Amino acid sequence: MSMSDIRVGVDIGGTFTDVALDHPDGMATCKVLTDYTEPERAILKGIETAARKAGIALHTITQVIHGTTLVTNALIERRGARTAFITTEGFRDVIEMRSENRFEQYDLNLELPKPLVPRKDRFTLNERVGPQGQVLLNLDADETRRLAERIVEAGYEAVAIGLMHAYANDAHERMMADALKKLAPDLSISLSSVISPQMRELPRFNTVIANAYVQPQVSAYLNRLVAKLRNADISAPVFMLHSGGGLISVETASEQPVRLLESGPAGGAIFAAEFARSHQIDKVMSFDMGGTTAKICLIEDGAPKTANTFEVARTYRFKKGSGMTVSTPVVEMVEIGAGGGSIASIDTMGRIQVGPRSAASEPGPACYQRGGAEPTVTDSNLVLGRLDPDNFAGGEIPLSVGLAQQALSERIAEAQSIPVSEAAFGVTEMVDENMANAARVHTVENGRDIEHFTMIGFGGGAPLHACRLCEKLGIKALLIPPGAGVGSAIGFLRAPFSYEATRGVFQTLASFDADAVNAALEAMEAEARAFVQAGIGDGRTTTRLTAFMRYAGQGWEIPVPLPHKIFTSGDTDAILAEFESAYRMLFGRTIDGLAPEITNWSLIVASERPQPETTKPQAGSKDAAVLRRRPIFDAALRSIVDAHEVERSAMTPDSVVAGPAVIIEAETTTIVTSAYRAVGQSDGCLLLVRKDAK
């Protein structure tokens, strides 16, 4: 990027469309309401506002980077194309039978999510490919023609093709696609061997169907967006942030919209990762808390952790298993139903429960005075003195302490026979506990020890809760970056161009076939490189190769990073060593007597990211100006403490305030508990450090 580059990041969220514009003199940001009918209108409005703030003309913008929840929402709300699914005879119901289990064991009236494509729209072909790609039953050309006619006649808007073992041999999928194209050249067709060439039929079929289902809509939207920008004199290329945390061209996004699923949250993770890099912190847990959910992501060596499957559109209290598993590269995040709007209640055992139900923005928490009667996390924070009733959202939303107390009293305190303040403590402590538990389990699943991590907190709710969370998790340092309100949009501007190609190539290590692997890797690299070059031309790139391996008989593969090279049969010892080291990292040991095997490969090609300027930690040698003192409740001490109130703007580099303290700004409030102190950093971050940390 040269100094004359003017890049703009746009994140469409459920309520707001956020814009961050990076120009030679700094960064201009703004928030506008999301426009549900024509999202591109809000984008243009936001860009215009930001450009005005920055004092630049629209035509000088050199790059537009966009991320959106549009794809996720289309899946959740079932607003996709009328889609046909073509699969192997005998496997019509894979997506309906799912994993044949119930994600909630004790609910006799449980309902499973309905498949995106209903049974009447699922068609089969008499064909079969075996696990090594061998054809067990030939596909008849007449049959493909007849089925193509049927589908075209029925007027489907999109077609997904997913055949058994197509990751190992895509010939039959291509035959079917060709038959369709012959009759309907413009029909939207998605192939599982292109969209998600990995072993395991359920996630692969889900993924290709999700892609087909949203493709016409996303493609139309992106075309409209590009046209609209062009009309407004923004002829800069548009790039999309994909769920793996990199950029792809708008054309690729139109063809593979399933890659956009988690693009907004991925932007948040990149935002945090950028601060991890500039502050040179190896192990970071990003914590993003909003009104309804909290998201946690591990960032190591400046890179957010990624996975190749995840679950979208959970239908049942964010419960694992209640959504749809898709396999596409994604920044791995744990999402739980915990936010400022989360509602507190008493369960049948007389216990305080918080979330996942949320009062959202309408009616909102009781203290918003918009008719909400149920107590929420925000109400509890208000009662505990952590929020200032007269200065919430920069004073735009006056809060009623009385209504918050009333809701807590009626729904919690009376049932428990405890004072309202204790009920409020119980509510915030329970939500913090839920988030801490999720964070702990996530690090355990990854074989990591959470106490060695630094937390980076952003999103409206995180600065209120992050410090207490660190106390619970034994985390000693917490970074609260500036601009956290539009974190994702800023993150977009920091993302590399990248594309992850995956292939299912099943081999035991003992019968490692280097030629087959090299051939697959070569094809994967060509595929990935083509997408990246669309963004950066001949710019410098890096590659990252991962083999997914396990011991024979195990059901889960673990990611094993390997050097990207031409393999020979002599490399098996080195691969084994890498596998054992990764296995030991996760499980603490290796197993003798079992044969390792490789199931899938992943190759990421990414543009090189410039190393951000290093931020030297500030010691905190001068005291920040204190506005006043105000009482807040300190959860660890179980008592009200006398806190310093400081303006965020007063937390200049090297300024320090010792907890208990409240640092206020228009967008959010940072709580510094008695055990921590906060130091202003040169890049505007707040660094909270445990007072007793060495």
- Binding-site ranges for another protein (CB under 8 A): 89-94, 96-97, 99-102, 105-112, 118-120, 128, 130-131, 136, 164-165, 199-202, 347-352, 416, 418, 422, 425-426, 429-430, 433-434, 437, 440-441, 444-445, 472, 474, 506, 551, 553-556, 586-588, 591-594, 599
Segments of 203-282 assigned E as strands: 238-241, 247-249
Toward another protein, which CB reaches closer, 78 or 351?
351
Toward another protein, which CB reaches closer, 141 or 441?
441
Toward another protein, which CB reaches closer, 131 or 653?
131
Least distance between another protein and beta carbon 99 (Å): 4
Least distance between another protein and beta carbon 538 (Å): 39
3-state secondary structure 297-342: EEEECCEECEECCEEECCCCCCCCCCCEEECCCEECCEEECCCCCE
Toward another protein, which CB reaches closer, 369 or 416?
416
Tokens of 119: 């049974």
Report the SS3 class of residue 456.
strand
How many angstroms separate the CA atoms of 524 and 329, rounded?
14
**Which positions ≥6 away from 10 have C-beta within 8 Å?**
17, 18, 19, 43, 46, 47, 64, 65, 66, 67, 489, 492
DSSP symbol at 497: B
Tokens of 655: 């300024």
Toward another protein, which CB reaches closer, 44 or 94?
94
Toward another protein, which CB reaches closer, 316 or 506?
506
How many angstroms separate the CA atoms of 194 and 175, rounded?
14
Torsion of CA 101, 104, 107, 111, to 10 degrees: -60
Contact 399, 368 (CB under 8 A): yes
Least distance between another protein and beta carbon 397 (Å): 29
Least distance between another protein and beta carbon 468 (Å): 12
Least distance between another protein and beta carbon 200 (Å): 4
How many angstroms separate the CA atoms of 385 and 401, rounded?
10
Q: Which of 457, 490, 455 is nearest to 474 (CA)?
A: 455
How many angstroms separate the CA atoms of 461 and 175, rounded?
52
Toward another protein, which CB reaches closer, 142 or 592?
592
Toward another protein, which CB reaches closer, 96 or 515?
96
Least distance between another protein and beta carbon 351 (Å): 5
Residue whose pair of structure tokens reads 């959970």 in the numeric block: 314
How many angstroms separate the CA atoms of 301 and 565, rounded?
22
| Backbone region of residue 523 per phi and psi (left: phi > 0; alpha: psi in -120 to 50; beta: other values) | alpha
Least distance between another protein and beta carbon 559 (Å): 14
Task: Please count the other Cβ atoms lying within 10 Å of the Cβ belonging to residue 397.
Answer: 15
Toward another protein, which CB reaches closer, 440 or 564?
440
Strand pairing category for 247-249 and 188-191 = unpaired
Least distance between another protein and beta carbon 467 (Å): 16
Least distance between another protein and beta carbon 659 (Å): 18
Toward another protein, which CB reaches closer, 155 or 588?
588
Toward another protein, which CB reaches closer, 352 or 688?
352
Report the SS3 class of residue 672.
strand
Helix (H) or strand (E) holding 670, with range, is: strand 669-672
Instruction: List, in sequence order, the alpha helices (H) in 339-419.
Output: 377-383, 401-408, 414-416
Least distance between another protein and beta carbon 469 (Å): 13
Least distance between another protein and beta carbon 444 (Å): 6
Least distance between another protein and beta carbon 380 (Å): 12
Residue whose pair of structure tokens reads 């506005």 in the numeric block: 627
Least distance between another protein and beta carbon 426 (Å): 4
Toward another protein, which CB reaches closer, 177 or 336?
336
Torsion of CA 634, 635, 637, 638, to 10 degrees: 100
Strand pairing category for 541-551 and 596-607 = antiparallel
Toward another protein, which CB reaches closer, 251 or 513?
513
How many angstroms separate the CA atoms of 632 and 602, rounded?
50
Least distance between another protein and beta carbon 494 (Å): 33
Gap between the terminal Cα atoms of the chain: 39
DSSP symbol at 138: P
Toward another protein, which CB reaches closer, 360 or 430?
430
Toward another protein, which CB reaches closer, 374 or 429?
429
Toward another protein, which CB reaches closer, 105 or 621?
105
Least distance between another protein and beta carbon 433 (Å): 5
Segments of 572-616 assigned E as strands: 596-607
How many angstroms separate the CA atoms of 366 and 381, rounded?
12
| Backbone region of residue 591 per phi and psi (left: phi > 0; alpha: psi in -120 to 50; beta: other values) | beta
Least distance between another protein and beta carbon 326 (Å): 14
How many angstroms separate the CA atoms of 215 and 310, rounded?
19
How many angstroms separate the CA atoms of 689 and 675, rounded?
8
CA atoms within 13 A of residue 398's CA, in its CB half-sphere: 3
Contact 267, 244 (CB under 8 A): no
Contact 195, 207 (CB under 8 A): yes
